[in-house]
Amino acid sequence: MSRDTIQNNIQNFANNIGISFNTISLLHTAFTHRSYVNEHRGESIEHNERLEFLGDAVLELTVTRFLFDKYEEKNEGDLTAYRAALVNTHTISSAATKLGMNDCLFLSKGESRDTGRARQYILADAFEAVIGAIYLDQGYEVANDFIAKNIFPLADEVVKKRLWQDSKSYFQEKAQEHVSITPSYAVVKEEGPDHDKHFTVGAFLNDEQVATGKGRSKQEAEQEAAQAALEAKGWG
């Protein structure tokens, strides 16, 4: 897609979510992946990672308060598990896809051809960056409303289908059941400065790397890898 087409898609996205941005360039930045900036080094373009950092914090706070109010009888452990399921890559990338964010992304030519799991991570990051842009431009209440509309309705399904269950434990249970192997995990890639590390972890069955997962901590990446491994093996 051309730049003009993507910019039109971004404006349509803003219209569809019912937000009139004071600074629409914030939304453009939210949809700009680092790969696009690297491919256009001569231009003054900012990627979305700072907005993603901010939006992640707003998302976590908003979901935490929602779950605290909704499940008064649940303990800290249950609430933490529910929150992890509501803000993980799979959940928020699915929400991003439903909102048509795929058509709003500024990506390098290489990244634009990848429609697999890597795109899920990009969409999840963009979703968080959009929250950051809304928060900066419109304030907390509008950001809260956006999250409430697109994430809160998923809570009942998460609880009913036990989607909050620890993926590593479930993968181990299934691996032992199907192939009598205890999974192992190893960091296969580490990126970013010390204050903003991103880890890629592989999930292994003996020497077979079944899947990988990404996260801001090794633990988060392991959970993502276990979930991806469950999907890869059809054990979900």
Q: Which pair of structure tokens corresponds to residue 123? A: 């969409």
DSSP string, 68-111: HHH-TT--HHHHHHHHHHHSSHHHHHHHHHHTTGGGG-B--HHH
Choosing from 52, 111, 125, 128, the catalytic residue is 128
Vertex 17, ends 132 and 139: CA angle to 5°?
A: 35
**Is 56 in the active site?**
yes
Q: Which pair of structure tokens corresponds to residue 48? A: 């979305």
Choosing from 49, 52, 56, 220, the catalytic residue is 56
Q: What CA–CA distances, in Å, run from 13 to 24, 68, 113, 114, 223? A: 11, 31, 22, 22, 31
Q: What CA–CA distances, in Å, run from 206 to 12, 150, 186, 210, 215? A: 48, 39, 12, 10, 23
**Is 128 in the active site?**
yes
Confirm if 199 and 218 have CB atoms less than 8 A apart.
yes
| CA atoms of 37 and 207, how far apart (whole Å) | 37
Buried b (16+ CB within 10 A) or exposed e, 100-121: ebbebbbbbeebbeeeebebbb
- Active-site residue list: 56, 128
